[in-house]
Structure 1
Amino acid sequence: MEMKEFYYENGIRVSLFNLDHRAVPYHFHQSVCDMIYCAKGAINIELPDRQQIYHVPLGEVFQIPSKLKHRFANAMEPGKASRYVLMQLGEFNIEFVKNNKKMDAQLVDATYFDYQQTDVYIEDRKKDILALVDHFSQNKPEVLDDEELSDVLTALNAFATQGIEASYPEHALESA
């Protein structure tokens, strides 16, 4: 797994993750939601406390509410990488889960959801997200190669154009 953090200003955090077959560790956030855009391959979002796994294919977005334990895993066959762009709005925080074996055990009989269109909630930040598209188009972050930059621009445009300008509703994922 390779994480490239390159932007955290004005309450917007943008990162890019290249996944081999090591998953991001289980974690949760107290106050921010994770919004992801699958830029390469496919991503599984594992939610052990709910015994659910959501499959997110190439070109699609997904949002995980705050306080929900989760991790991102490469959904491709061994040897094929996946990539996702992560955006968070608000004050960033992260808490890692210590007992990964317990979390893995909760997923043994998990319900697997093939992707279906879900909403992402971008608060009142559409203009700010589109301004980032312009900013990164003019000023490529040094840590990104050209393909990764293209993926970030596509992801931010997807968040801005598909995003609902409202706060994340309390039970949005439960109806997904």
Structure 2
Amino acid sequence: MEMKEFYYQDGLRVSVFNLDHKAIPYHFHGEVSDMMYCSRGQITIELPDADEVYTVHPGEVFQVPHPSKHRFVNGAPVGTLSRYVLLQIGAFDINFVPAAKEIAGQFAGRAMTHVADGAVYIEGRKNDIIKLADHFEQEKPEVLTPEEQADVVEALRCFASRGIEAGHPQAAGQR
């Protein structure tokens, strides 16, 4: 697993994750939601509190509302790299979950729900996300390859075009 965190300003955090077949550890956020865009391979999202497993393919998005426990897994065949672009809006925080092996066991062999038309809630930040996409189209962060740069621009444009300009309705305090 390779994480490239390259932008965190004005309440917007953007990262790229290249997943081999090691999963991101189970975690949750108290303040931010994870909005992910699958750019390569297939990403599986496990949500233990909801007892749900989802899968997204290239060009598709998924949002995990805070404070849901979750992890992202490479759902593509072994030996195939999967990549996703992560956007978070707000003050970043992360809390790792103990007893991850026990949690992972509940998802072994489970059927997944494919999310083809996932919604993302961008909290009124559409113009900021578009400006950020324009910026990264013109200027490549040092840590990114040209392919990753193109994926980031595509992901940000997707978040802006499909985004609902409100907070996630399932996020803490909005139930």
| TM-score, normalised by the number of residues in structure 1 | 0.93
Question: What does 1:80-159 correspond to in 2, within 5 Å?
Answer: 80-108=80-108, 110=110, 112-159=112-159
Q: Which runs of 5+ in 1 are unaligned?
A: 172-176
Partner Cα separation in structure 2 for residue 46 and residue 76 of structure 1: 15
8 Å Cα contact 2:40/2:81 also seen in 1: yes
CA, structure 1 residues 68+111, in 2 after alignment: closer, same or farther (shift >3 Å)?
farther
- State how far apart, in whole Å, the 2-side matches of 1:85 and 1:108 are: 25
- Unmatched tracts of structure 2, length 5 or more: none
The structural deviation recorded for 1:14 is: 0.1
1:101 deviates by 1.4
CA contact (8 A) 2:53 2:111 kept: yes
| Alignment: residue pair count | 171
Is contact 2:60–2:118 with CA below 8 Å preserved after alignment?
no
Q: 2:41, 2:116 → 1: CA distance?
A: 17
Deviations 1:42-78 (A, max 9, x none): 1000112222110101110110000111000001111
Cα offset, 1:128, TM superposition:
0.3
For the 8 Å contact 1:49–1:106, the answer to whether it is kept is no
What is the percentage of aligned positions where both structures have the same residue?
54
2:160 matched to which residue of 1?
A: 160
User: How far apart, CA to CA, are the structure 2 residues paired with 1:51 and 1:36?
Assistant: 19
Q: Which AA in structure 2 matches 1:58?
A: P
Deviations 1:95-123 (A, max 9, x none): 01111112113324745212231211001
Q: String of CA shifts for 1:6-48, please: whole Å, max 9, x gaps.
A: 0000000000000000010110000110000000011000112
Q: Would you say 1:77 and 2:77 are equivalent positions?
A: yes
Q: Over aligned residues, Cα RMSD in angstroms?
A: 1.3
**Offset, 1:170:** 2.0
Q: SS in structure 1 opposite 2:85? A: strand
- 1:5–1:16 Cα contact (<8 Å) kept: yes
Distance (Å, rounded) in 2 between the aligned partners of 1:134 and 1:20: 29
Q: Separation in 1 of the partners of 2:31 and 2:103?
A: 21
Aligned to 2:32: 32
